Amino acid sequence: MGIARWLNRTVGFFVFALLDIADFLLCYTYKTLDYFLESERKPCYCSSPPEAQAKTEKIIVSERGGYSKVVSLTRSKIHFDEISDTLYSRGPSLLTRLSKLVRSVKCFNYKGLIMRGNVVESCDHHESKKKISKRKKRLMTLNSTVVEKSSTAPRWSDCHCSFCTSWLTSSNRDSLFVKVQQPKDNKKARDNVVFIHGFVSSSAFWTETLFPNFSDSAKSNYRFIAVDLLGYGRSPKPNDSLYTLREHLEMIEKSVISQFKLKTFHIVAHSLGCILALALAVKHPGAIKSLTLLAPPYYKVPKGVQPAQYVMREVARKEVWPPMQFGASVLSWYEHLGRTIGLVLIKNHHLIEFVTRLLTLNRMRTYLIEGFLCHTHNGSFHTLHNIIFGSGAKLESYLDHVRDHVDCDVAIFHGGKDELIPVECSYSVKSKVPRATVHVIPDKDHITIVVGRQKDFARELELIWQRSQST
């Protein structure tokens, strides 16, 4: 096992070194293409925050806990959001380390040294002090903030098909797409169940698996509500959004809780959705009747460690095996490679669906492709960093709040062979919320914990809801 781990890391070092170079070259490639196709060189996160601010009129103020406050000045509104610092500081790439080495060599001469009495100050330190002084001149105070974003058309590298852009022609283009299954007489619905999907997924993860397999009794007593999160499926995919936790929550509250006038409801959430489910439980503690979390990405952050950076390195280790881990790492570390994947796969998802059906003689249902490929790179990249990584500093307090102030059953399910989110994450949740029950499903992974065992899981959910009625 030790040799396999060493080999994985060694091969990973060389593979990711090549990916560093590829992403660096793609950065300039996309800036050129954007300029010719959109008449604008849109900034990326390869730039340092001050450089990006100068180009986009954004002012970023770092705070403790792994968050930065970003104020984006536009023609008519001010946007004020929390963003994860992993967007700008994802760790030094190979080229970054080489450039620092070159600078250090250049500094090792009399022109690059500043003598102050008996003190020798390096040019890097001198430059950093100059940058700090410049940054001080740009400080400003805001007395109020407005969070409002306008919908924008897809970029040239995004998919323009009728499915992915259906929100642009919808009469309710500022709300999430919601799939509802309810009794014919809606007044007979005793309870509501809200389903929240995970990263690069959609409501089809629930509607194509669980919805058809609930018992007749459940179908006649519950209203099932599955939502496409902001940036996924048929929901809005605004390009001027940072896809922060606040934005995701507000859209769920507007499109589900307010729209359907929910006073109480159960929540079933998978992976990324677990973070949103816990945040909803904190905001609406009296409304939650039960919490069912599948593969919650909760990592206990050691004291003195930057939370967002720690979670990123746990989720996206630079290793080439297993494949799902490698894919998560590429999407996390490389902004431009991720955009290229979108350009090749997401933009051609209909072709991929057709080829899949052709090769499997139409025996394989392709609803998972809708989740994997029907989104934008901008949405998935920001959601990954701002929600999964950026919430590392908040999840502990969320779980404390659920333990002390949310009176509901908490059930956790995890695949025994989940290669993306380790089973230890679920046990960590239980350590914070002792009343939670953990169910480890042998031989199941991050997806097959539901897909392939949907009938069994539907029965398990019904039992959870029934228990909540008797308590």
Q: Which residues are catalytic?
A: 197, 271, 418, 446
As a whole number of angstroms, the distance between CA 451 and CA 449 comes to 6
Look at residue 384 and give its three-state secondary structure: helix
The number of C-alpha atoms within 13 Å of 67 and in the hemisphere containing its C-beta is 17
Query: Which token pair is 352?
Result: 């991929």
Query: Which token pair is 11?
Result: 């091969």
Partnered with residue 412 across adjacent β-strands are: 293, 438
Bridge pairing between strands 67-73 and 78-84 = antiparallel
Q: Among candidates 1, 143, 144, 93, which has minimal Cα distance to 334? A: 93
Cβ atoms of 344 and 439 closer than 8 Å: no
Residue 22 CB neighbour total at 10 angstroms: 15
DSSP category for residue 16: H
Where does residue 58 rank: exposed (0-12), middle (13-18), buried (19+ CB within 10 A)? middle
Look at residue 409 and give its three-state secondary structure: strand
Cβ atoms of 346 and 373 closer than 8 Å: yes
Cβ atoms of 246 and 383 closer than 8 Å: no
Look at residue 277 and give its three-state secondary structure: helix
Cβ atoms of 341 and 333 closer than 8 Å: no
Q: Return the amino acid letter for 363.
A: R
Q: What are phi and psi of 95, to 5 degrees?
A: -70, -35
Calculate the dihedral angle through the C-alpha atoms of 93, 94, 100, 103, rounding to the nearest 10 degrees. -140
Q: Return the amino acid letter for 355.
A: V
Please state the three-class secondary structure of 180-220 as a single string. EECCCCHHHCCEEEEEECCCCCCCHHHHCCCHHHCCHHHHH
Please state the three-class secondary structure of 348-374 as a single string. HHHHHHHHHHHHCCCCCCCHHHHHHHC
